């Protein structure tokens, strides 16, 4: 009897005498794999902290993702020789710092920001020469009035630059092994697909002081939005990207009253998750996109509408009656930005919350197949498997991956290894960073561990 056969016999005897019996599909042939745990969430999932969070080192084992905003002008400037010059060092520095902590990064570029003021452009200087301005008073008690500058979207050079920018970005960061997990794309305030028009006054240009006039002037036209999103979809073939659920807005969004019926494929993010009127308001925007069946990566951010929203975000019943786990299952959330949670929750609590998000793998069977070993895996989590993830014994991996496996679905991967050592099994991917481990449970028949 071979060493592997003896080991299989020993595993079978242990399973037969365990307090919880295992029911194998074929006890004489099934390969019993040992489950693998992780103290934090699965890679590329979970609660997200800003890279600038002063407590991030203390919480680095509780998260796998970091977030950062950027202005387009942080990377691109006018080139004296013509066109634009690109310097990605700011983004590289963010991703390098995140990778050093074993984390992937999420980025979002902003064209308009009330905090930017008038002295600094968000775009190359040549595109900032003819901005439109307005006063902005955020709809929160005590918020100060600020003067906001908007790019001149009637200038065709602006949408052309944005489209070219994302092509350059995709060339720089072609896949998740670069450390870039996801890209959030948007226009208007904070890249969140709105400009809070009801909170604007004292417009510098009378031709943009109504919602109808604002589109194409303070905010990109529907045609420009669709063109830019099409370019993003063509450019980012291996890195998931998403837009705000506010893109459902019929006034400012690219789709009007009709939800998109085909490409481009994109995920969604919700920047006011679980606020008091989330179910009544935000769920309608989510529902606008419900007919889409593509395997998208969705995310969000805990609401900052009130301190209560932040303080109670991870309560068992959520801040307003809907717990995070329920929202994650409804909307297939892979990640939620929760930078403020380090004020209220321990690393262990943040890690536990993170495990409610994203995929969760269960091995249902591992048996001999023609020329190898077939491993059947079910996604028991809340969201899609968002990257190429392979079954492997040692250095030999399956040719097919689990990418795109949706919650509740199962897929069989064949690893071309005959009579493998169960101890050599793991899920592997070129997207994983050094030290990252993909956890999984084992469920043969009706028993699991």
Mean pLDDT of the residues in the chain: 90
The answer on 411 and 282 residing in a single domain is: no
CA 94, 95, 99: angle at the middle one, nearest 5? 125
Domain edge (last residue) among 354, 369, 400:
354
Query: Is 80 exceeded by the pLDDT of residue 10?
Result: no
Query: Is 80 exceeded by the pLDDT of residue 4?
Result: no
Helix (H, G, I), strand (E, B) or coil at 152: coil
The answer on 219 and 188 residing in a single domain is: yes
What does the pLDDT average to over 64-72? 98
In this prediction, residue 6 carries a pLDDT of 41
Give 267's strand partners.
242
In this prediction, residue 438 carries a pLDDT of 98
The answer on 160 and 33 residing in a single domain is: no
Contact by Cβ (8 Å): 417, 373: yes
Domain edge (last residue) among 295, 324, 354:
354
In this prediction, residue 257 carries a pLDDT of 85
d(CA 234, CA 226): 12
d(CA 234, CA 241): 11
CA–CA distances in Å: residue 151 to residues 128, 215, 223, 353: 6, 12, 17, 39
Reduced 3-state DSSP string for 54-105 = CCCCCCHHHCCEEEEEEEHHHCEEECCCCCEEECCHHHHHHHHHHHHCCCEE
* CATH number of residue 78's parent domain: 3.20.20
Between residues 45 and 18, which one has the greater pLDDT?
45
Total domains present in the chain: 2
DSSP letter (8 states) at residue 392: E
d(CA 413, CA 398): 6
Question: pLDDT tens, 155-174?
Answer: 999 999 999 999 999 999 99
Question: pLDDT tens, 310-327?
Answer: 999 999 999 999 999 999
Residue located via tokens 């400037």: 77
Helices (H), 237-382: 283-288, 307-311, 324-331, 347-354
Question: pLDDT tens, 325-365?
Answer: 999 999 999 999 999 999 999 999 999 999 999 999 999 99
**Domain residues for 430?**
3-38+359-448
The answer on 311 and 286 residing in a single domain is: yes
In this prediction, residue 140 carries a pLDDT of 66
d(CA 216, CA 222): 8
Residue located via tokens 């179910």: 279
The answer on 33 and 50 residing in a single domain is: no
Between residues 256 and 420, which one has the greater pLDDT?
420
In this prediction, residue 142 carries a pLDDT of 65
The answer on 346 and 374 residing in a single domain is: no
- CA 362, 357, 94, 247 torsion: positive or negative? positive
What does the pLDDT average to over 5-18? 39
Contacts of 18 (CB under 8 A, 6+ apart): none
Cis bond upstream, residue 264 (ω within 30):
yes
The answer on 346 and 368 residing in a single domain is: no
Query: Is 80 exceeded by the pLDDT of residue 24?
Result: no
β-pairing, 333-337 vs 298-302, is parallel
In this prediction, residue 22 carries a pLDDT of 37
Per-residue confidence band for 260, with pLDDT thresholds at 50, 70 and 90 = confident
The answer on 307 and 201 residing in a single domain is: yes
Question: pLDDT tens, 265-299?
Answer: 899 999 999 999 999 999 999 999 988 767 789 99
In this prediction, residue 263 carries a pLDDT of 64
Query: What's the half-sphere exposure (Cβ side, CA atoms, 13 Å) at 15?
Result: 23
Contacts of 148 (CB under 8 A, 6+ apart): 112, 113, 114, 116, 133, 134, 135, 136, 200
The answer on 264 and 184 residing in a single domain is: yes
> Beta-strand (E) ranges in 274-389?
298-302, 333-337, 361-369, 372-379
pTM of the model: 0.91
Domain edge (last residue) among 329, 354, 379:
354
Per-residue confidence band for 18, with pLDDT thresholds at 50, 70 and 90 = very low
Q: What are phi and psi of 224, to 5 degrees?
A: -65, -40
Between residues 140 and 103, which one has the greater pLDDT?
103
d(CA 69, CA 337): 12
Query: Is 80 exceeded by the pLDDT of residue 25?
Result: no
Per-residue confidence band for 116, with pLDDT thresholds at 50, 70 and 90 = confident
β-pairing, 396-397 vs 390-393, is antiparallel
The answer on 158 and 63 residing in a single domain is: yes
In this prediction, residue 113 carries a pLDDT of 92
The answer on 392 and 317 residing in a single domain is: no
Contact by Cβ (8 Å): 71, 55: no
Six-digit token string for 54? 């002063």
In this prediction, residue 9 carries a pLDDT of 41
The answer on 228 and 302 residing in a single domain is: yes
């Amino acid at each position: 009897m071979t060493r592997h056969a003896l080991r299989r016999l020993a595993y079978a005897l242990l399973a037969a005498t365990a307090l919880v019996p295992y029911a194998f599909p074929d006890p004489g042939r099934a390969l019993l794999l040992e489950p693998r745990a992780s103290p934090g969430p699965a890679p590329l999932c979970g609660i997200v902290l800003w890279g600038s969070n002063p407590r991030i080192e203390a919480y680095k084992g509780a998260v796998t993702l970091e977030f950062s905003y950027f202005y387009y002008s942080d990377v691109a400037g006018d080139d004296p020789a013509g066109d634009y010059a690109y310097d990605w060092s700011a983004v590289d520095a963010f991703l390098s710092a995140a990778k050093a902590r074993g984390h992937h990064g999420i980025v979002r570029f902003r064209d308009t920001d009330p905090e930017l003021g008038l002295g600094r452009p968000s775009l190359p200087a040549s595109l900032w020469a003819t901005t439109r301005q307005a006063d902005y008073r955020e709809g929160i008690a005590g918020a100060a009035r600020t003067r906001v500058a908007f790019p001149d979207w009637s200038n065709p050079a602006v949408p052309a630059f944005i489209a070219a920018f994302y092509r350059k970005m995709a060339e720089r960061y072609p896949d998740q092994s670069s450390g870039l997990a996801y890209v959030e794309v948007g226009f208007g305030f904070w890249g969140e697909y709105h400009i809070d028009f009801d909170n604007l006054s004292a417009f510098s240009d009378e031709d943009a002081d109504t919602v109808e006039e604002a589109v194409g002037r303070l905010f990109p036209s529907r045609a420009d939005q669709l063109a830019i999103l099409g370019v993003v979809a063509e450019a980012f073939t291996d890195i998931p990207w998403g837009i705000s659920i506010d893109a459902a807005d019929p006034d400012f969004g690219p789709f009007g009253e009709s939800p998109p019926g085909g490409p481009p494929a994109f995920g969604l993010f919700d920047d006011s998750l679980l606020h008091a009127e989330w179910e009544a308001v935000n769920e309608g925007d989510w529902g606008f996109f419900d007919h889409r069946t593509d395997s998208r990566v969705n995310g969000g951010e805990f609401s900052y509408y009130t301190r209560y929203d932040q303080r109670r975000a991870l309560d068992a019943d959520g801040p307003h009656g809907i717990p995070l786990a329920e929202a994650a299952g409804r909307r297939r959330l892979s990640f939620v930005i929760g930078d403020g949670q380090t004020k209220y929750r321990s690393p262990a609590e943040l890690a536990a919350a993170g495990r409610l998000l994203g995929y969760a793998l269960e091995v249902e069977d591992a048996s001999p197949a023609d020329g190898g070993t077939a491993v059947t895996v079910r996604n028991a989590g809340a969201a899609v498997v968002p990257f190429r993830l392979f079954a492997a014994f040692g250095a030999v991996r399956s040719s097919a991956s689990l990418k795109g496996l949706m919650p509740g679905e199962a897929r069989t991967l064949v690893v071309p290894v005959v009579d493998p050592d169960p101890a050599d099994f793991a899920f592997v991917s070129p997207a994983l960073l050094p030290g990252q481990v993909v956890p999984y449970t084992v469920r043969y028949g009706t028993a699991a561990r």
